[in-house]
Amino acid sequence: MTTITLKVNGKTVTGEADPSTLLVQFIRETLRLTGTHVGCDTAQCGACTVHVDGRAVKSCNMLAVQAAGREVTTIEGLAAADGTLHPMQAAFRACHGLQCGFCTPGMVMSAVDLVQHHGCHSESQVREALEGNICRCTGYQNIVAAVQQGAAAMKP
């Protein structure tokens, strides 16, 4: 076992992890932050997307030890301390950009990364940017609308 220390959702945490433990496993099983979902374990579906040092990362494709000393934000860390939803979370709720909700945390994390690093985009650009996130329930129209609404709300 290896002791790792990282910052998760603004708080420094330390935990034990086998060197082969995936970041998603560490987040869910050690830190008990279960908003990050395990979908495919092959980095295909995007359900496990988190931010590492401000960039979207599929946490099933990264070892926990690789996150040592880094800053990780999970879906639980997006909302304000008082519970106010992040603008992208609020947009997903308002636009009903979900059905079963399984993919939603990864979609939201990817959408926030998209807006923060690439700005607001057309429908086709949003669809292309979210290709690495799979939703098995929706036709994506409400997800695209949510990303566009969230992007507008995120503008300074």
Query: How far apart are the C-alpha atoms of 19 and 154, rounded to whole Å?
Result: 37
Q: What is the pLDDT of residue 3?
A: 96
In a domain, 82, yes or no: no
Is 73 found in the same domain as 99?
Answer: no
In angstroms, the CA 50 to CA 22 distance is 13
Confidence (pLDDT) at 58: 95
Q: What's the distance, CA 7 to chain centroid?
A: 16
In a domain, 53, yes or no: yes
- Residues 91 and 73 grouped into a single domain: no
CATH of residue 129's domain is 1.10.150.120
Residue that is written with structure tokens 């995120």 in the block: 154
- Strand segments, DSSP code E, in 9-149 are 11-17, 49-52, 55-58, 71-73
| Residue 100: predicted pLDDT | 86
Give the residue numbers spanning the domain of 131: 87-154
Residues 57 and 10 in one domain: yes
Same domain, 71 and 125: no
Sign of the alpha-carbon dihedral angle for 42, 45, 51, 54? positive
Within a 13 Å sphere around the CA of 26, how many CA atoms are in the beta-carbon half?
A: 32
Are residues 92 and 73 both part of a single domain?
A: no
- What is the chain's pLDDT, residue by residue, as a tens digit (156 residues)? 999 999 999 999 999 999 999 999 999 999 999 999 998 878 888 889 999 999 999 999 999 999 999 999 999 999 999 999 999 999 999 999 888 888 899 999 999 999 998 887 789 889 888 888 888 887 788 999 999 999 999 986
CATH number at residue 30: 3.10.20.30
Q: Which positions ≥6 away from 58 have C-beta within 8 Å?
A: 43, 46, 48, 49, 132
Indicate if 55 and 109 belong to the same structural domain. no
Could you tell me if 86 and 78 are in contact, meaning their C-beta atoms sit under 8 angstroms apart?
Answer: yes
